[in-house]
Amino acid sequence: MAGRRVRIPELDGLRVLMIFVVSWYHIWQQSWLQPWITVDFLNIQWSLDWLVRSGYIWVDGTVLLSVFLLYLPWAEAKRNSTPNPDTREFYWRRARRVIPGYWFIVLLHLFAVALPYGLYGQNSPFLVKDLVTHLTFTFTQFSDTYLMTNLGGGAWTLAILVQGYVLFPFVARWAQKRPAVAICALALTAFAFRAWCLWGLTDFRMVVNQLINFLDVYALGILLATVYPALRDRCGKQEGKAKYIRQAAATILFLASLWGLIRMLEVQSMTGSDLQRYQMIYRPVFALCFGCMTISAPFALLPLRKLLGNPVTRFLGTVSMNYYLIHQTVAVHLKRLNIPEAFSEYPNQVGEQPWQTQYTLACFGISLALAILVTYLIEKPGGKLMDRIRAGRQKKTAPAVPEP
């Protein structure tokens, strides 16, 4: 059916990896558990401190991956001379996917955490504003509801994506008709806005993650989705030696992009108070690394493809949105409840390593369990309910068929 999202199994694993690292960063901000890889019999230790310190960068990868997958149906339609995805169907599919689980999680934050623990105090106007703007995905436009919300800190990413959904069908048709103009215009708009921010501002908290600051990431996602169908069709015809050469080349590109990303993250982790400035300056480079990983993964050698695309990563990818929306609140609230029992505010400074490990594992485990429950008890049934309501309304408004 035109407009259905194209599924590429290898990208399930890439999405899971990105969201895992971002959530690890948020949990680390509460536990301060320094990650090490230890090989005892070789007496070797590797620190992954740079990875968690720069974990927020992987959000850019999730945005690029989402845009890539969103534009693929339009790219396929142009390549195959088939009808474009229906705009109303596009909006409907996005709404039924996002709204049930997201609204439930927002209300869960409100009634299970914010109100019982008096996080709003007597500030009823802010409570109303915080709730309304979150339910309408507009809270990123206000400094208080964005930076001081009591309804979960991770929802801004989904808000930015939803704001992009509103414009996406129009941008997609523009990119179909005049791809070079559309891609360049999106990128230049992001560059111009970023230059204005870097020139005129000293505090970047409100601007670093606004939709306009991701338009060059959008441009790259659309470009990669444009070339992907041609690559897939050409590679699908290759056999024998040519096939394995192509798979080896794609694997090398994936690993080289990952290596480049690691080196960039190592630098980003040392930027200190200037991290948002450097994040904006190097966002196109980070996006290019994520983009090369995205476009090469489906064509890589079988072991890498199986590592990224398998039943486990597909399942985790299914619950990943709700996991992302939940995990940060779980991390903060467990400390509020003193679970497991902690002895100090900064456990890394007094050697509470057992607590740090227990707490970190609890955060990951509880967040995943809650995400599974929300996905299969709220999101999916809610989407089906929305479909039934829509079908009933369409039946009522359909013109009566005269009897023969």
Enumerate the β-bridge partners of residue 45.
Answer: 38
CB atoms within 10 A of CB 222: 26
Query: For the chain, how long is the longest CA-to-CA vector?
Result: 86
Residues 6 or more apart whose CB falls under 8 angstroms from that of 45 comprise 36, 37, 38, 39
Enumerate the β-bridge partners of residue 377.
Answer: none
Question: pTM for the complete prediction?
Answer: 0.93
Nearest partner of 225 among 17, 65, 1, 15, judged by Cα: 65
CB atoms within 10 A of CB 86: 14
pLDDT by residue for the chain (404 residues), tens only, comes to 344 556 899 999 999 999 999 999 999 999 999 898 877 777 778 889 999 999 999 999 999 999 999 999 999 999 999 999 999 999 999 999 999 999 999 999 999 999 999 999 988 999 999 999 999 999 999 999 999 999 988 899 999 999 999 999 999 999 999 999 999 999 999 999 999 999 999 999 999 999 999 999 999 999 999 999 999 988 877 788 888 999 999 999 999 999 999 999 999 999 888 899 999 999 999 999 999 999 999 999 999 999 999 999 999 999 999 999 999 999 999 999 988 887 787 888 888 889 999 999 999 999 999 999 999 999 999 999 999 999 888 887 766 556 55
pLDDT at 393: 86
The 10 Å CB-count burial string (b at 16+, else e) for 273-291 is eebbbbbbebbbebbbbbb
Tokens of 304: 């890498």
pLDDT at 1: 38
